Chain A
Amino acid sequence: MSADRPFRRWVRRSRVRSPWLVHFDCGGCNGCDIEVLDMLTPRYSAERLGVVNVGDPRQADVLVVTGPANPRNAEVLRAVYDQMLEPKVVVAAGSCAAHGGIFRGASNVLGGVGEVVPVDVFVPGCPPPPWRILAGIIDAVPLLADVRPPRSPSGGPSRPEPLRVAPDDRPAKGQVDPAIDAHDADLESVTVP
């Protein structure tokens, strides 16, 4: 048992420290997708968290979904989710992904992606800024430490207020992004839950 402990800790640490992304667009206005790509640029230095955009669900740990669920893409989204291996988490980025956003109520929209897959973190915003998406991912990675039992679709966000509130004002030119500082603090907190 005692020999087992460090090994388990190492494994859990590895899982948390190596979130590989796959990004799936359900068909919003593409605003969120641009922000997701922004989040992956050197400015936000997502790689310091071990984030790699692998673009292949079978190799990914974090599914970042944007846009509302609709009958045509629900099956594909589900297939992408099912191809991912446990442990895995889902981050729904943007209002559309949360509950349908401006498309909510349209005849061809089912609602948020929570209708199709179990979402772990909702990131609010239309579109959410890049650092907020990153913050959502940081919130989600502790869930990767252990294999969880299969989950059913989660539905929309249960709370009206966002899970995390990142400062809305953008940093002035030349200033350090306050969000990045915040994330560095987060990084310390997520190492081993």
Chain B
Amino acid sequence: MGGLGAILLLVAAPPAVAALMRLPSIGSRRLPRDLLACAAVASTVIGLAALLGGCPVLGRAERFEVSLGPLDPAAAPAGAAWSLAPAAIALVFLAIALRTRTLALVGLAGAHLFVEVGAASAQLAAAPEAAGRGGLVVDPLAATLLGVSVLVGGVIIVYALAYPPVHLAQRGIDPARAGSSVAWLLVFVAAMNLLVLADDLRLLIVGWELTTLCSVMLIAFDGDAAALGAGRRALAYGLAGGVALGAAEWLAGPNARLSGLLVDGGGTAPVAVPLVLGGAILAAAMKSALVPFQGWLLGAMVAAAPVSALLHASAMVNAGSYLLMRLSPAIADQEPLGPLVVLLGAVSFAAAALAALRQHDLKRILALSTVSTLGLTTAAAGIGSSAALSAGLLLLVFHAVAKALAFLSVGTLEQATGTRELEDLAGALRTAPLLAAPLAIAAATLALPPFGLTVAKWAIIEAGARNVAFVVLLALGGAAYLALWTGVVGRLLVRRRSGSVARGAAEPGVVASADEASPGAPTPGRRLPRRQLAAVAVLAVASLGGLVLAAPLAAWLTDPAARTVVGSGAGPGLAAGWSVALGTGGFEVPLVAGLLLAASVAAVLAAARVRGEAPAAYLSGAGIAARPGTLHRAPGGRTALARSGGFYWGGGTLAWGSDSDAAGVPNGSVGRPAALVGWVLVASLVTAAVLAAVLLGTAGPGAPG
């Protein structure tokens, strides 16, 4: 029974507080608003604890059905409301699309509305399910995702409380709107929780559409041209995913459940099962921004740092991976779909990592690395073995922590220095170590063994070793991924001779130290809010904790999660092959961790042996030039591609063509051939769904009833 209260806290409390925060009388005064938000975060954490107390799933492969009581979709009036809710959200989307006056968007929103209304009418026409079954399910998989969403999301929101005012002030927007931004973040977390807990498809879709809505609102929040453009693109991709998922729901038939789809299709006609799964895969690919649907996520970097962190780390993109993992056994059953998902993920992993190599905007680099990592989790879901799923989940967890850390620290750096260009921040680890170190820590945990990410990558390679194309793509992507983080940290680590020309003064925008903010930034970097630093510190500690935490997490959370999804018959989990003895294979985590520790100790000892200032750089016999010679600046004052200093692919021969215009704003990626293929897929799926629904409705064999 603790479950019910927990669910209510989890799903209902944040929106309530968020609604309160929209009230002008509260939003105008600073303290109560922050307190309210903190209370909301605390309530979700307590809710999570209570939920796990009521449904003990940690370390056990069990699932508990939880009912929402009178609000459960099995109950008659609530069921109708849940059925109609997606259509209502679709109406909101249509309104937004109409306001953008973009024909394509309006068309897409119209199609979305059509599909949602169709699905809703099918749900309403059918007899309600026998009451007594809960619409929510708590199992280790859901618990893992909830943990990520609530804990990482909570830290991000605490950080965000101080961020938007500065962010908005830097952009000349009324800081009073900061409250509503935090409110949207809270709703976002709640929607994600709903999505993860939902077993009934109607609940799932409500959560799904709400995350889309929140992301669009938050991306377009700043209201300038770039933000609105990015918001439009996010809306387009979100709508397309929504259409695919709505069509899938329509096809799956009334009262369909995720758990039902796994057991020979549940009540769904066998013909329709591949289509339903295809819709889900397509929707997940859009949500997770897999190549070729990465456009919206790259555009979303115009938003504030906490928004990016939430999108990339704890909420939005994880939804796609989660759905695929949940459906993994069913996907593996449908012959062409499983390998397709594996390939989709692997292509994303390699292409995004290679593309990231030629970027120099830190947020863009982070965005592409997100696409890359999610490709890997997707591939894990496609492989579908117990170890692969567990590894994918582990990857998801550690990626969430590291990526949240990375985004928040880039946000802090940007606030302090007014730039997020890698070339402008070259040497930041020397001049502003406190600000830049979190980013380096995030990079280390993303790239070094035996942190969770590398362990997961190792497990996924070993699980998918027999698929040659997959292994080749993984090897390429893995190398690019390693090179990417090495390159980024290498630039941050560059030493600049002290006593040379004060670069910050000589070149606007180039940062020499933390307290030397660029002109125009209203808040000098030296007074960063303590709450922000605390949030970053918590995430940094959590990231480094991955060294110790990976094994217990695998044993307590991800292995049981994989077992609940695929059953215990699908091979041993990850923890089984964990600290395996030498000579038998397996990731010798303690050993490698010891090695890493030994290397760190050696590094410290070596550094301690160095006395005094480093000698001047060797520069063709003369002393070092007095000015920073490696920074390349275009006439307009923006940083040009520093081909000699950094590491960039030239000319776009390897990665696909240039995807940003002169101002660094990504071009529309909708027109690209790859994306076109995706859109054609969406269109054909919708057509097939409608046709199938009509045919099944008339012929009757699969008709519910």
User: B623 at interface (Cβ–Cβ under 8 A)?
Assistant: yes
Interchain nearest-CB distance for B533 vs A (Å): 40
**Pairwise interchain contact B618-A56, C-beta atoms closer than 8 A:** yes
A58:B622 contact, CB within 8 angstroms: no
Over the window 604-622 of chain B, the binary record of Cβ atoms lying under 8 Å from chain A Cβ atoms (1 yes, 0 no) is 0000000000011010011
DSSP majority for the A interface?
helix
Residues of chain A within 8 A of B622, CB atoms compared:
76, 79
A contact residues around B616 at 8 Å (CB): 79, 83
The answer to whether B615 and A80 touch across the interface, beta carbons within 8 angstroms, is no
Assess whether A57 is interfacial by the CB under 8 Å rule. Answer: yes
Residues on A with C-beta less than 8 A from B618 are: 56-58, 83
List of A residues within 8 angstroms of B615 by Cβ: 58, 83
Interface residues of A in 1-30 (CB under 8 A from B): 24
Interface residues on B, range: under 10
Closest residue to A79 on the B side, CB-wise?
B623
Q: How many A-B residue pairs have CB under 8 A?
A: 16
Q: Which residues of B are found within 8 Å of A24, using beta-carbon distances?
A: 621
Q: How far is the CA of A64 from the CA of B492 in the complex (A)?
A: 37
- When distances are taken between beta carbons in the complex, the residues of chain A under 8 Å from B623 are 79
Residues in chain A near residue B621, CB distance under 8 A: 24, 57, 76, 79-80
Within A32-83, which residues are at the interface with B (CB < 8 Å)? 56-58, 76, 79-80, 83
Closest A residue to B623 by beta carbon equals A79
Q: Which residues of the other chain, B, contact A83 by a CB distance below 8 angstroms?
A: 615-616, 618
Looking at B616, B621, B622, the one whose CB has the most chain A CB atoms below 10 A away is: B621
A80 surroundings in chain B (CB, below 8 A):
621
User: What does the 1/0 interface line of B530-541 toward A look like (CB < 8 Å)?
Assistant: 000000000000
A56 neighbours in B (Cβ, 8 Å): 618
Q: Which residues of chain B (609-647) have a CB below 8 Å from chain A?
A: 615-616, 618, 621-623
Closest residue on chain B to residue A77 by CB atoms: B621
Report the minimal beta-carbon distance from A167 to chain B, rounded to whole angstroms.
34
Interface residues in A68-101 (C-beta closer than 8 Å to B) = 76, 79-80, 83
CB proximity to A under 8 Å, residues B55-80: none
- How far does the alpha carbon of A57 sit from the alpha carbon of B621 in the complex, in Å? 8
16 residue pairs A–B, Cβ–Cβ below 8 Å: A24-B621, A56-B618, A57-B618, A57-B621, A58-B615, A58-B618, A76-B621, A76-B622, A79-B616, A79-B621, A79-B622, A79-B623, A80-B621, A83-B615, A83-B616, A83-B618
What 9 pairs between A and B have smallest CB-CB spacing?
Answer: A80-B621, A76-B621, A76-B622, A58-B618, A56-B618, A79-B623, A24-B621, A57-B618, A83-B618
- New A-B pairs, 13, CB < 8 Å, besides A58-B618, A76-B621, A79-B622: A24-B621, A56-B618, A57-B618, A57-B621, A58-B615, A76-B622, A79-B616, A79-B621, A79-B623, A80-B621, A83-B615, A83-B616, A83-B618
